[in-house]
Structure 1
Amino acid sequence: MILLTGFEPFGGQPINPSWAAALSARDLLRAEGQVVEAVELPCIFGVAGNVLRNALDELEPELVVCVGQAGGRGRVSLERVAINCDDAPIPDNAGNQPVDRPVVPGGPAAYFTSLPVKAALLAVEEAGIPAEVSQTAGTYVCNHTFYALMHELASRSAVRGGFVHVPFAPDQVERGSGAPSLTVHLMAEAIAAVVRTSLSHFSGAARPFDLSLPADVALAAGSLH
């Protein structure tokens, strides 16, 4: 079982392409014979994590890929790390605007993704889709959800998961603004590539994930700033 998530619209936007892309990726993967479910998360601190946790309990997935919108970025961003910090520059959809609060009080400062982001980067780029390994998922609801996911998966050793940010969809960008965007179709293809790569790296016949397989490939994909 594979779980994909996306978010409802926020920040005054009429759509959130992360949800449309998650749905489209679900359909692509189902057509290939995979068992996949998609869940829309509210853009609300705390509530998003609770909805995700309930989905984990109900569906018992072996792989989880959460997707969020990062307007202004021009590439599909494979997030490497979630930090234990909520610091909202704008209110969420319930009007909450936490500042310098932990996602999980007493939790670790950060969690690394358990997805093979370097191998996934290669797969997405080979599909002709601009991509990057990102060193920050921000401090808004996306990072909050990413951290909540990895905190939950810390006690579910057979489950892998991580977070992917997608750019604006073309419909969200004013003509002539120069703001980067990507079609939902290409976003979905990228998410599907991340899923396929993760399964090929971790799936084994005896158990959901064969930990004897290499976790990732050695590839320079860091940043100078």
Structure 2
Amino acid sequence: MILLSGFEPFAGNAANPSWGAVLLAAELLRADGHNVEVLELPVVFGAASMMLLDALDRLDPDVVVCAGLAGGRTGLSLERVAINCDDADIPDNAGAQPSDREVVNGGPAGYFATLPLRAALRNLAEAGIPASISQSAGTYVCNHVFYALMHQLADRPRTIGGFVHVPYERSQRPSGLSPTMELSGMAQGIAVVAQTAAKARELTALRGVPSTR
């Protein structure tokens, strides 16, 4: 089973393309025969990670792909590393603005995504979807959720997961200089990442070996 998550709007935006893209990606994956659940997370430190971890316990997915908005990115960003730091330039949707705070007290400095990033990147290129591997998910709620996810999956090796950032959607371009992408392209890209991960998960299960990056 595949679990996809996106975020609610924040910072004055009327919509968050990560959630719209996740909903469309779920339709594509279901049409391809996958069992998919979706989750809209609040842009709130603590509450977002708690909601995601509760879904992990309830659903026990094989693959988890979380998505969030990163304005200014030119395509999909496949995030490699989650760091144990909450440091917000702007308040979250509950008004919190942590500074230099750990996501998990005493947790490791960072975690690598366990999604097959290189394979996903190749498949995205073949599909004509602009994408790259990113070395930083920032220190806002996206990274908060990414780190909490990977911290939990460290004790659940049968589940693989990670985070994908999406750019602004074209209809919500905040300025003429900001890169944008069609929502349908984002959705197709997230579906490709999830399909690539599901295939990798199946192969490692058949071989009886742990999933790897």
Normalising by structure 1, we get a TM-score of 0.91
Amino acid in structure 2 at the alignment position of 1:20: G
Q: Which residue of 2 aligns with 1:18?
A: 18
| 1:48-67 aligned within 5 A | 48-67=48-67
CA separation of 1:70/1:124 partners in 2, compared to 1, >3 Å: closer, same or farther?
Answer: same
Q: Which residue of 1 aligns with 2:103?
A: 103
Q: Which residue of 1 aligns with 2:186?
A: 187
Q: Does 1:202 align with 2:201?
A: yes
Q: Is the CA contact (8 Å cut-off) linking 2:62 and 2:198 kept in structure 1?
A: no
Cα offset, 1:212, TM superposition: 6.7
Q: Is the CA contact (8 Å cut-off) linking 1:53 and 1:152 kept in structure 2?
A: yes
Could you say what secondary structure the match of 1:150 adopts?
helix
Q: Is the CA contact (8 Å cut-off) linking 2:25 and 2:190 kept in structure 1?
A: yes
Q: Is the CA contact (8 Å cut-off) linking 1:202 and 1:209 kept in structure 2?
A: no
CA separation of 1:184/1:137 partners in 2, compared to 1, >3 Å: closer, same or farther?
Answer: same
Q: Is the CA contact (8 Å cut-off) linking 1:4 and 1:39 kept in structure 2?
A: yes
Could you say what secondary structure the match of 2:20 adopts?
helix
Cα offset, 1:209, TM superposition: 8.0
Q: Does 1:28 align with 2:37?
A: no
Which protein has the bigger helix share? 2
Could you say what secondary structure the match of 1:203 adopts?
helix
- In the alignment, the residues of structure 1 paired with residue 186 and residue 206 of structure 2 have an alpha-carbon distance, to the nearest angstrom, of 26
Cα offset, 1:202, TM superposition: 2.3
Q: Which residue of 2 aligns with 1:211?
A: 209
Q: Is the CA contact (8 Å cut-off) linking 1:74 and 1:181 kept in structure 2?
A: yes
| 1:1-225 aligned within 5 A | 1-174=1-174, 177-204=176-203, 207=205, 210-211=208-209, 215=212
Amino acid in structure 2 at the alignment position of 1:186: G
CA separation of 1:62/1:81 partners in 2, compared to 1, >3 Å: closer, same or farther?
Answer: same
Cα offset, 1:199, TM superposition: 1.7
Amino acid in structure 1 at the alignment position of 2:92: D
Q: Is the CA contact (8 Å cut-off) linking 1:121 and 1:132 kept in structure 2?
A: yes
- In the alignment, the residues of structure 1 paired with residue 206 and residue 150 of structure 2 have an alpha-carbon distance, to the nearest angstrom, of 17
Structure 1, unaligned runs of 5 or more: 217-225
Could you say what secondary structure the match of 1:82 adopts?
strand
Cα offset, 1:41, TM superposition: 0.3
Using the aligned pairs only, state the percent identity. 56
- In the alignment, the residues of structure 2 paired with residue 201 and residue 64 of structure 1 have an alpha-carbon distance, to the nearest angstrom, of 13
Cα offset, 1:204, TM superposition: 3.8
The list of structure 1 runs, each at least 4 consecutive aligned residues, that deviate by more than 6 angstroms after superposition, is none
Cα offset, 1:208, TM superposition: 7.8
- In the alignment, the residues of structure 2 paired with residue 40 and residue 149 of structure 1 have an alpha-carbon distance, to the nearest angstrom, of 15
Equivalent pairs, count: 213
RMSD: 1.6
- In the alignment, the residues of structure 2 paired with residue 15 and residue 133 of structure 1 have an alpha-carbon distance, to the nearest angstrom, of 25
- In the alignment, the residues of structure 2 paired with residue 4 and residue 67 of structure 1 have an alpha-carbon distance, to the nearest angstrom, of 8
Q: Is the CA contact (8 Å cut-off) linking 1:62 and 1:208 kept in structure 2?
A: no
Structure 2, unaligned runs of 5 or more: none
Q: Is the CA contact (8 Å cut-off) linking 1:18 and 1:69 kept in structure 2?
A: yes
